[in-house]
Structure 1
Amino acid sequence: MYVAAFAVAGYGRTGRTLKPFNPLLGETFEFDRTSDLGWRYISEQVSHHPPIAAVHCEGRGWTVWLQVSSDVKFTGRTISVEPKGSIHLVFKGSNHHYTWERLHTVIHNVLFGKLWIENHGEMNIINHAQGGRAFVKFESSGMFGGETKQVYGAVHNAKQEIVWILRGAWDSFLESVSPLTAIKVEGAVDIFGKEIANENVVAKLPRWKEVWDGRPEDVRTEIQYCFTQFTIELNESEDGVAPTDSRNRPDQRIHENGDWKKADRCKYALEAAQRARKKETSTVWFQKTWDQYENDFVYKSKGTYWKKKQEKNWEPTQIFEWNDGTPP
């Protein structure tokens, strides 16, 4: 149930429609919150064509890793994003290994009207150690439907018995209820628990338990690019990070300081340099390894980043060098 909530929460901030900076080949990002939140994160852009970012995050008793890559199609009025690969979560104490695939995302009204993002599809979360699983369905708006963010789900044990029913919205909350009472209500449960949203049925059920609350506490997020306080902190300058860290990108820093024209010139120069050197660059912190669960090669952490940081022994890199002279 909690892993399912974690998987849904990953979509909580995907409603933002503003285009981010594309990471450069070899660019990295670290975020060490071990002292207060108990986890630390490292990612690296390991491929330019196709664009692939490798991610590794470790906390107190757990590890998450994945690689971010997608097939992107422009269909006229929409942009369709079909992610590749799975997300892996391992708990060190029990060695329980969970995997799930990311959902199909569609950006609507690309040419006309208000932009809005839709995440839809079925998420199958598997516990490979125990055999239990969770099914979570993200509702689709359909061809002519309006925006919807509803999710429904059911958690099964190793005997394929439903032990939790889930409902919520992918941008704001998820709650659960035990089916021990719910299954006695006629028509209350299908495989995704969808029918349980019926008001007459809900009135007969025990109280729902909130599992995840993704609603931002700061009401100002609506006027600050939908950034929460946590999101804003991600780009704060920090001493000791790798020279390739996103916070050291001059174009991003210039943009944040409000000089957009200069930032555009810098961005153009950095991307031109990337195209010139892309064949010479190899991954630094991740390596391609065969994965038995995905039955394919994936990028996994070498486990060397934090040691190198402690030693202040960074790999030499030129990816962020830019001479602020004549505009390209």
Structure 2
Amino acid sequence: MSPNDSKNRAGFLNSLASSITNFGSVMTKSVNGLMGYEGIEVINPDGSTEEAEEEAGRGRWKQEERDGYWKMMQKYIGSDITSMVTLPVIIFEPMTTLQKMAELMEYSHLLDMADKTQDPYMRMVYASTWAISVYYAYQRTWKPFNPILGETYEMTNHNGINFIAEQVSHHPPMSAAHAENEHFSYDCTSKLKSKLLGNSIDFYPVGRTRVTLKRDGVVLDLVPPPTKAHNLIFGRTWVDSSGEMIMTNLTTGDKAVLYFQPCGWFGSGRYEVDGYVYNSAEEPKILVTGKWNESLSYQACDTEGEPLTGTELKEVWKVAEAPEKDKYQYTHFAHKINSFDTAPSKLLSSDSRLRPDRYALDTGDMTKAGYEKSSLEERQRAEKRTREEKGQRFVPKWFDETEEVTPTQWGDLEVYQFNGKYLVHRAAADNSEINTDMESTKFNPWQFQDTSP
């Protein structure tokens, strides 16, 4: 952040934030010596002082499962385990990473409003609020399935949006996505990087997200904060994000810098977000504050970041009502994108909804889900061997790898761009008179058809 930003943060919102973050950090209990485990920390976001053994036993793992998994994972501490470890289905939700990327579209009406407004600073309020709105869904403690190379996910029937995502690389795991309606287009290349810390794991968003607002052609760039999952094996798993989210208008130089508060004692500060929209001269124009699991509000401010006299906070976004006691902590929108309600006619056979392991888990058949997951992973390895024997490389269908490599603070990113072929395919499929039964279509992301294990 620039010196100007640091000075401005000393105003209204900074005084509020410092009183929270200085209160303390989450309660950490060591389980040293507990059942033979050494150096394991169980972090309780509620800050209660219950005994470490009691807290450690409150996770979703059975004792024997936890013992075996911990022994296996110890050797990976300090490593990026994004695609190098085979994980049991007990920790998965019946959704893939590609589908989870589509959850960012739930509150896409905020991007419509950003495109419609003539106020350049409100444009940044709407757009940055859109970027924060997905964090309510991202707090789920279940892991999505890693997509198979060539797997896709399509979404229609929501706010006039056509959404397509594709797994474009397996090592390293990378996904690309494109969405658009009459107001905006969205493009994302994602290469998630992780670091296992024992009973927790850090996730670093090595990616590039661009949004183009169609009326004026302005381009917005998003850099989200890292995320941490606590208590993977011992204790109740919980997810938190802390640090800065920066959205920059690459056309005008305006930007929004919003700070996600870390969780403190007894949950203080958790979920809280505050910051400013700045003009191109790095002067604060609008303050933004709220909680990413409840609502966000905005208010005009002076050059010191203090609210302008005669103005008041106005709510810009509120989280939608969610199902109660949902097994996987899904929102109503998550259920919608996991169904065929948002699927186009003549769905691609590579679509995530058709994965047999995802479907088995969704119906509660853990044994079949584990078997199908292993079968898909083995066939993916067989495909890789076949490509190597033929001297071929995988080429995505709907995205092209560019020569651009974008540096991020967590590593370099190879950028993929939408090639437009999907729009041609979708128009032809929609105009076809041939009807297909989506629910009986076999999952088929494969490049070769003769590599079944």
Question: Please, what TM-score do these two structures have when normalized by structure 1?
Answer: 0.82
Q: CA deviation at 1:98?
A: 0.8
Q: Distance in 2 between matches of 1:172 and 1:71?
A: 28
Task: Indicate the SS of the match to 1:223.
Answer: coil
Q: Distance in 2 between matches of 1:30 and 1:318?
A: 13
Q: Which position in structure 1 is the counterpart of 2:162?
A: 40
User: Structure 2 residue aligned with 1:217, among 321, 341, 348?
Assistant: 321
Q: Aligned in 2, Cα 1:287/1:321: closer, same or farther, shift over 3 Å?
A: closer
Q: Which position in structure 2 is the counterpart of 1:17?
A: 141
The structure 1 segments of at least 4 consecutive aligned residues displaced by more than 6 Å after TM superposition are: none
Q: Distance in 2 between matches of 1:292 and 1:262?
A: 40
Q: Which amino acid aligns with 1:154?
A: Y
Structure 1 residue 154 corresponds to structure 2 residue 286? no
In the alignment, structure 1 segments of 5+ residues that lack a partner are 190-195, 197-201, 323-327
Q: Distance in 2 between matches of 1:98 and 1:62?
A: 11
8 Å CA contact 2:323–2:330 kept in 1: the answer is no
Structure 1 residue 85 corresponds to structure 2 residue 207? yes
User: Structure 1 residue aligned with 2:313, among 208, 220, 239?
Assistant: 208
Structure 1 residue 309 corresponds to structure 2 residue 426? yes
Structure 1 residue 282 corresponds to structure 2 residue 395? yes
- Higher normalized helix content (fraction of residues): 2
Q: Aligned in 2, Cα 1:321/1:21: closer, same or farther, shift over 3 Å?
A: farther
8 Å CA contact 1:64–1:89 kept in 2: the answer is yes
Bigger drift between 292-301 and 98-107 goes to 292-301
Q: Distance in 2 between matches of 1:168 and 1:290?
A: 40
Structure 1 residue 256 corresponds to structure 2 residue 372? no
Q: Which position in structure 1 is the counterpart of 2:191?
A: 69
Q: Aligned in 2, Cα 1:292/1:95: closer, same or farther, shift over 3 Å?
A: farther
Q: CA deviation at 1:167?
A: 0.6
Q: Which position in structure 1 is the counterpart of 2:353?
A: 247
8 Å CA contact 1:248–1:320 kept in 2: the answer is no
Q: Distance in 2 between matches of 1:141 and 1:58?
A: 35
Structure 1 residue 270 corresponds to structure 2 residue 270? no
1:223-234 superposed matches below 5 A: 223-234=326-337
Structure 1 residue 140 corresponds to structure 2 residue 262? yes
Bigger drift between 282-291 and 63-72 goes to 282-291
Q: Which amino acid aligns with 1:54?
A: A
Q: Which amino acid aligns with 2:233?
A: L
Percent identity over the alignment is 30
Q: Distance in 2 between matches of 1:320 and 1:246?
A: 16
Q: Aligned in 2, Cα 1:270/1:29: closer, same or farther, shift over 3 Å?
A: same
Question: Please, what TM-score do these two structures have when normalized by structure 2?
Answer: 0.61
Q: Distance in 2 between matches of 1:79 and 1:118?
A: 11
8 Å CA contact 2:152–2:352 kept in 1: the answer is yes
Q: Which position in structure 2 is the counterpart of 1:168?
A: 290
8 Å CA contact 2:224–2:244 kept in 1: the answer is no
Q: Aligned in 2, Cα 1:219/1:85: closer, same or farther, shift over 3 Å?
A: closer
Q: CA RMSD in A?
A: 2.9
Q: Distance in 2 between matches of 1:26 and 1:65?
A: 18
Q: Which position in structure 2 is the counterpart of 1:119?
A: 241
8 Å CA contact 1:104–1:119 kept in 2: the answer is yes
Per-residue CA deviation, residues 56-91 of structure 1 (Å, 9 max, x unaligned), is: 111212111111212111111210111112210111
Q: Aligned in 2, Cα 1:318/1:286: closer, same or farther, shift over 3 Å?
A: closer
8 Å CA contact 1:86–1:102 kept in 2: the answer is no
Task: Indicate the SS of the match to 1:13.
Answer: helix
Task: Indicate the SS of the match to 1:254.
Answer: helix
Q: Which amino acid aligns with 2:161?
A: W
Q: Distance in 2 between matches of 1:66 and 1:151?
A: 24
Per-residue CA deviation, residues 94-136 of structure 1 (Å, 9 max, x unaligned), is: 1111102121100112232211111111122111111111111
Per-residue CA deviation, residues 256-284 of structure 1 (Å, 9 max, x unaligned), is: 22322112111110110001213633211
Q: Distance in 2 between matches of 1:205 and 1:20?
A: 47
Q: Which amino acid aligns with 1:303?
A: G
Q: Which position in structure 2 is the counterpart of 1:199?
A: none
Q: Which amino acid aligns with 1:85?
A: G
Q: Aligned in 2, Cα 1:211/1:266: closer, same or farther, shift over 3 Å?
A: same
Q: CA deviation at 1:145?
A: 7.7
Q: Which amino acid aligns with 1:174?
A: L
Task: Indicate the SS of the match to 2:135.
Answer: coil
Q: Which amino acid aligns with 1:247?
A: R
- Higher normalized strand content (fraction of residues): 1
Q: Aligned in 2, Cα 1:245/1:173: closer, same or farther, shift over 3 Å?
A: same
> In the comparison of the two structures, how many residue pairs are matched?
300
Q: Which amino acid aligns with 2:140?
A: R
